[in-house]
Amino acid sequence: MAKIRVGIIRGGPSSEYEVSIKTGGAIMSALRDHDSETYHPIDIFIDQKGTWHINGIAIKPEQALHRVDVIFNALHGTYGEDGKVQAFLEMHRIPFTGSGALASAVGMNKTMTNQILARHGIKIPLSREILSVDIRQNPEAISRELFTTFPIPAVIKPVSGGSSHGVSIVRKHTDIAPALLKAAEQDRAVQVQEFISGIEATCGIIENFRNEPLYALPPIEIRPETEFFDYDAKYKGKSKEIVPATFSHELKKDLEMLSRTVHSALGLRHYSRSDFIIHPRRGIYFLEVNTLPGLTEESLMPKALRAVGSTLHQLADHLIRLALKLQ
């Protein structure tokens, strides 16, 4: 029986390039070390200018697709997680892991995601969206208006994007304009969101896993050493990630239920991971969804997998089979 040719797309033009490189490398190692009789992994590297490569040789994207049976999408952020590469793969009728083009685009846009989830009864922090072009034209005027009309402290971040790039917490008037400009560098629009203090948590969902339509991995309790769960906390070991979390049984079940609701309400596919903040009195608030969760050694989803006796190579095999509709 011929091996299944798995093209692993990694890299890309986003600010999450380095994380994507590591995620793709982890998947390649998992397939080579544990499923070499079933899969033939092919490294498809996209550089930061958007050029595709196989074996170090630049190649047209269409040519790369002719060499594979299925794509494992290990990209993160712009192009890879916002629906663009998904639309390209759908147009060429190549099966791929992760959510489809439309759901990916919605999940990447924090404003659209919040609007949908609010209609499903999920608590969302108070938020506003401001166009980046307006911020660049008059950051001080917008800063003054926000300071007088919006609850401070606040979180300022790009409307799209992940790994906490461009995110700031502002606590005084002089912090606002620099934070707005920083976030505006990352995206066409900026989200200003009410800061809610509490314990951060995240919960992964895997479709059709262990005989459950939407299997919830154990919630992870996150206690960052930095001010919030920023890039350094996520990928440089500057946080304490407790899995399984020390939350009550009821709170864990609530987080699992909310993560399933997020996955379903946004029309996501195969797997996802949702982030929350738990206020001691106000309860659980949704922060954001990861439609392509990181799968590096430092990433949260592999840690939750290990907690339930599973492995990254089992997840990779499962996702590829989902993409190929083999289960």
- List the domain boundaries for the chain: 4-97, 107-124+196-291, 127-194
Q: Render pLDDT for 135-163 as a digit per residue (tens, 0 to 9).
A: 999 999 999 999 999 999 999 999 886 54
For residues 186 and 273, is the Cβ–Cβ distance under 8 A? no
The DSSP code for 291 is S
The candidate with the shortest Cα–Cα distance to 264, out of 57, 117, 129, is 117
Is the CATH number of domain 107-124+196-291 1.10.287.610?
Answer: no
Task: With a cut of 90, say whether residue 37 has pLDDT above it.
Answer: yes
Residue pair 11/24 in contact (Cβ under 8 Å)? The answer is yes
Q: Indicate the SS3 state at residue 273.
A: strand
Provide the pLDDT confidence category of residue 3 given band limits of 50, 70 and 90. Answer: very high
Residue 134 to residue 142: CA distance in whole angstroms = 8
Coil, strand or helix at 205: strand
String of b and e for 116-135 (b: at least 16 CB within 10 Å)? bbeeeebbbbebeebebeeb
Query: What value does the mean pLDDT of the chain take?
Result: 92
Interacting residues of 141 by C-beta distance below 8 A, sequence separation 6+: none
Calpha distance 72→59 (Å, rounded): 18
Which pLDDT score is estimated for 238?
A: 61
Report d(CA 27, CA 154) in Å as an integer: 37
User: 304-313: which pairs have CB atoms within 8 A and are 24 or more residues apart?
Assistant: 304/203, 304/204, 304/217, 304/218, 304/220, 304/243, 305/217, 307/217, 307/218, 307/243, 307/244, 308/217, 308/218, 311/30, 311/34, 312/26, 312/27, 312/30, 313/30, 313/31, 313/33, 313/34, 313/35
Q: Which of 123, 119, 111 minimizes the C-alpha distance to 278? A: 123
Query: Locate tokens 């946004």: which residue?
Result: 266
pLDDT the model gives residue 175: 93
Q: In terms of DSSP bridges, do strands 199-209 and 220-224 run parallel, antiparallel, or are they unpaired?
A: antiparallel
Highest mean pLDDT among 131-145, 156-170, 252-266, 293-307: 252-266
Rounded to an integer, what distance in angstroms lies between the CA atom of residue 45 and that of residue 64?
A: 10
pLDDT exceeds cutoff 50 at 308: yes
Question: DSSP H helical segments within the chain, as ranges?
Answer: 17-34, 61-65, 84-91, 101-108, 110-119, 132-137, 139-149, 173-184, 231-235, 249-265, 300-307, 312-323
Give me the CATH topology for the region 4-97: Rossmann fold (3.40.50)
Counting residues of the chain whose pLDDT is more than 90, the rounded percentage is 85
Residues in the chain: 327
Q: Is the pLDDT of residue 67 over 80?
A: yes
Euclidean distance between CA atoms 257 and 245, whole angstroms: 15
179 in helix, strand or coil?
helix
Higher pLDDT, 10 or 2: 10
Cβ burial, residue 270 (10 Å; 0-12/13-18/19+): buried
| CA atoms within a 13 Å half-sphere pointing along the CA-CB vector of 67 | 17
**Confidence class of residue 45 from pLDDT cuts 50, 70 and 90?**
very high
So what's the pLDDT on residue 229?
44
Q: Name the pTM for this structure.
A: 0.90
Provide the CATH topology of domain 127-194.
Answer: Dna Ligase; domain 1 (3.30.1490)
